């Protein structure tokens, strides 16, 4: 475990000779606390004698106790509260539990359950985590950053809560997303939790339900926009750079109005990326690469129709275009392979209501008023749902796809589960078992005509933790699209024949740390080749990445 004792202040001034907090104060530090695993010698040396039951438990015994309580809970939201409460008490044990049961825990600590947590944030609140910075703090953001108790920060995930999953404006409740994302950085890629900082930038909310709720925890006002908003974000970015130079800043769940703008403004100034745009794009591109192995067709022959033309959809389109260009297509020709349907129909040249980010994909095509008419007109090989419109991939849509393609690609990626464009069972049933399916949130395996299909989860957790690990390991100055392209190729290369046999286009989550380490090596390779690394290139990149990966093991304080 990384030594964090030097950054842990004691309000009482009482420290052991080891430089650790003393007595009950140590039990209240989640990064240092071992609970009932403190040895008898440690209890006497650290002022803990009598503050804990006498039996010293192993970590395995503690995990068993956590899991007993976990399985006694009757709802996923109760399980979420149970796990987050453990994280607040003992982070090492929390991550041991999550890593040992990742497939079971992922839907609880992140989507879909984290969406429920965000919606109930003010009602579930127990203990603050991360930093809440409001627009009223302008002029003092640097001071607020200095209140963070840890000296080093390697990764910040920041949101303004405007577009949380498919749930819309959650205001201050959006803090659940940075907290959850950073948990996945550690669980999936071994980022030291002491280096992680979740941040909520509160500029207000348009959610009337929250503004009327006496337990809502954020600013009770409409969202600030325009120059005041930009100046506020700019002050935050500058303060981070001054306080922790080179820290990776991940923009998360910003609304379309700001997401593209902020990424373009800062991507070449600081070390930053937008996971909704770039991370989503990479995981989808990887799924398409894997699907090729099932369709037997060339990637350049794909014709892709998107439902949804927001930050996720356009981000995916842009990365697909980059991949097609690398295979020899011209940019214009590559863009023609990607078409979009938004709330007003097919994005075409004749429309005068298109936002700037859609213009590159406004092709010279006949207008289509809805998705099914666009499917019939264009006969795509793949449909990708990023619309947050549940059930938008109807039986009619899937059957049409199956009539045009021996193996139709159906990616219903909207989160949480309730927003998915279709379920795995629907896709497999309506296509007579021929669909290559992936979703954003998990669906259980499906049995169709005697064969079991395991739907792939096109979750960004396959991509962003490994990208972040690579960036941190080599201290990259910027995060580039080439890094995400290499991450996508690496992820696709790790899909095994057994995965494809059951229809899964992503590796099993049980291999996520192996996957993240491989992606981190690929990202670091790009950083060194492109002159973006902040350290000299070592002889062994895999060893560099491994050395940056934290493991949830208790420190023996008296060694």
User: Does a structural domain hold residue 301?
Assistant: yes
What is the domain range of residue 118?
61-270
361 in active site = no
Residue showing tokens 């927003």 = 419
Q: In the structure encoding, which two tokens stand for residue 162, read together?
A: 């405007």
Cα–Cα distance measured from residue 510 to residue 103, given in angstroms and rounded to the nearest whole number? 7
CA-to-CA dists, residue 467 to 157, 240, 434, 492, angstroms: 13, 20, 33, 15
Q: Tell me, yes or no, whether 318 and 295 share the same domain.
A: yes
Q: Tell me: pLDDT of 110 over 50.
A: yes
Known active-site residue 229: no
Is residue 339 a part of any domain in this protein?
yes
CATH code, domain with 370: 3.40.50.720
**Cα–Cα distance measured from residue 229 to residue 403, given in angstroms and rounded to the nearest whole number:** 49
Do 455 and 485 sit in the same domain of this protein?
Answer: no
The one catalytic residue among 70, 80, 95, 110: 110
What's the whole-number mean pLDDT along residues 142-165?
95
In sequence order, the 6+-apart residues with CB closer than 8 A to the CB of 288 are: 299, 302, 304, 320, 382, 409
> What is the band of 5 on the pLDDT scale with cuts at 50, 70, 90?
very low
Percent pLDDT > 70 in the chain is: 97
Does residue 33 lie in a domain region?
A: no
Distance of CA 206 to CAs 52, 161, 162, 336, Å? 47, 11, 9, 37
Mean pLDDT for the chain?
Answer: 94
Residues 481 and 489 sit within 8 Å (Cβ to Cβ): no
pLDDT reported for residue 10: 35
- Within this chain, do residues 414 and 489 fall inside the same structural domain, yes or no? no
If one counts every other C-beta atom within 10 angstroms of the C-beta of residue 89, the result is 16
**How far is it between the farthest Cα atoms of the chain?**
79
Question: Are residues 292 and 178 part of one domain?
Answer: no
pLDDT at 4 over 50: no
Q: Does some domain include residue 555? A: no
In tens, the pLDDT along 320-361 reads 999 999 889 999 999 999 999 999 999 999 899 998 889 999
Query: Do both 369 and 497 map to the same domain?
Result: no
Alpha-carbon distance of 156 to 336, in angstroms, equals: 36
Residues 193 and 334 in one domain: no
Pair (201, 287) in one structural domain = no
* 200 assigned to some structural domain: yes
Q: Is residue 52 part of a domain?
A: no
Buried b (16+ CB within 10 A) or exposed e, 132-153: bbbbebeeebeebbeeeebeeb
Which of these three, 427, 459, 491, is where a domain ends? Answer: 459
pLDDT tens column, 411-442: 999 988 899 999 999 999 999 999 999 999 88
In DSSP terms, 448 is beta-bridged to 451
Do residues 438 and 455 touch, judged by C-beta distance below 8 A? yes
| Cα gap 195→71, rounded to integer Å | 31
User: Which stretch of DSSP H or E encloses residue 103?
Assistant: helix 102-109
Co-location of 101 and 81 in the same domain: yes
Please identify which residue in the block is written with the tokens 């890629």.
189
Query: Is 497 part of a structural domain of the chain?
Result: yes
CATH of the domain at 128: 3.40.50.10380
**What is the reported pLDDT for 132?**
98
User: 158 and 77 share a domain?
Assistant: yes
Beta-ladder partners of 385 = 307, 412
Domain count, the chain: 3
User: Which of 70, 80, 181, 453 is an active site residue?
Assistant: 181
pLDDT at residue number 17: 54
CB count in 10 Å sphere of residue 360: 16
Structure confidence at residue 415 (pLDDT): 87
In a domain, 550, yes or no: no
Rounded CA gap, 430 and 266, in Å? 44
Residue 382 in tokens: 């793949």
Domain boundary among 250, 270, 290: 270
496 in the same domain as 391? no
Among the candidates 253, 270, 287, a domain finishes at 270
Its pTM stands at 0.92
User: Which tokens belong to 372?
Assistant: 């099914």
199 and 320 in a single domain? The answer is no
265-282 pLDDT per residue, tens:
999 999 999 999 999 999
| Same-domain status, 227 and 331 | no
Least trusted range by pLDDT, from 86-90, 219-223, 233-237, 351-355: 351-355
CB under 8 A, 24+ apart: contacts of 295-300: 295/381, 295/405, 295/406, 295/407, 295/409, 295/436, 297/381, 299/323, 299/324, 299/327, 300/324, 300/327, 300/328, 300/329, 300/337
């Amino acid at each position: 475990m990384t030594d964090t004792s030097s950054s842990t202040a004691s309000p009482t001034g009482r420290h052991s000779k080891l430089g650790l907090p003393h007595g009950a104060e140590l039990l209240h530090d989640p990064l240092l606390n071992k609970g009932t695993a403190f040895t008898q010698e440690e209890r006497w040396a650290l002022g803990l004698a009598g503050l804990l039951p006498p039996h010293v438990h192993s970590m395995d015994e503690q995990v068993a106790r956590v899991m007993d309580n976990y399985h006694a809970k009757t709802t996923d939201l109760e399980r979420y509260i149970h796990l987050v409460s453990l994280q607040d008490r003992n982070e090492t044990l929390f991550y041991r539990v999550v890593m040992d049961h990742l497939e079971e825990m992922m839907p609880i600590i992140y989507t879909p359950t984290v969406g429920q947590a965000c919606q109930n944030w003010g009602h579930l609140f127990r203990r603050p985590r991360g930093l809440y910075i409001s627009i009223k703090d302008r002029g003092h953001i640097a001071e607020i950053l200095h209140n963070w108790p840890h000296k080093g920060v390697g990764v910040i995930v920041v949101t303004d809560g405007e577009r949380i999953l498919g749930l819309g404006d959650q205001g201050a409740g959006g803090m659940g997303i940075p907290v959850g994302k950073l948990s996945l950085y550690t669980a999936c890629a071994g980022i030291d939790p002491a280096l992680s900082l979740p941040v909520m930038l509160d500029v207000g909310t348009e959610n009337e339900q929250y503004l009327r709720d006496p337990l809502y925890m954020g600013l009770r006002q409409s969202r600030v926009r325009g120059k005041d908003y930009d100046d506020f974000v700019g002050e935050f970015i500058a303060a981070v750079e001054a306080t922790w130079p080179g820290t990776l800043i991940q923009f998360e769940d910003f609304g379309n109005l700001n997401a593209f703008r902020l990424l373009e403004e800062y991507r070449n100034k600081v070390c930053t990326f937008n996971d909704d745009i770039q991370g989503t794009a990479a995981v989808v591109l990887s799924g398409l690469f894997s699907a090729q192995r099932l369709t037997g067709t060339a990637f350049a022959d794909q014709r892709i129709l998107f439902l949804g033309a927001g930050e996720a959809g356009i981000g995916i389109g842009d990365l697909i275009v980059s991949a097609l260009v690398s295979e020899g297509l011209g940019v214009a020709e590559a863009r023609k392979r990607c078409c979009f349907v938004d709330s007003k129909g097919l994005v075409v040249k004749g429309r005068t209501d298109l936002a700037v980010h859609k213009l590159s994909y406004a092709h010279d095509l006949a207008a289509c008023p809805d998705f099914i008419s666009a499917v019939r007109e264009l006969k795509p090989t793949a449909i990708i749902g990023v619309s947050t419109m549940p059930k938008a991939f109807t039986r009619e849509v899937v059957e049409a796809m199956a009539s045009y393609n021996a193996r139709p690609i159906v990616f219903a990626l909207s989160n949480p589960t309730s927003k998915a464009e279709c379920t795995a069972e629907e896709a497999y049933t309506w296509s007579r078992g021929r669909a290559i399916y992936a979703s954003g949130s998990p669906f259980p395996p499906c049995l169709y005509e005697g064969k079991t299909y395991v739907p792939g989860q096109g979750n960004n957790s396959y991509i962003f933790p490994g990208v972040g690990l690579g960036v941190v390991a080599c201290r990259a100055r910027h995060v580039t699209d080439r890094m995400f392209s290499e991450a996508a190729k690496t992820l696709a290369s790790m899909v095994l024949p057994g995965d494809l046999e059951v229809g899964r286009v992503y590796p099993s989550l049980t291999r996520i740390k192996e996957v993240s380490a491989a992606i981190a090596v690929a990202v670091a390779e790009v950083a060194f080749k492109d002159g973006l690394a902040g350290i000299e290139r070592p002889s062994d990149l895999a060893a560099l990445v491994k050395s940056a990966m934290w493991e949830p093991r208790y420190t023996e304080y008296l060694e």
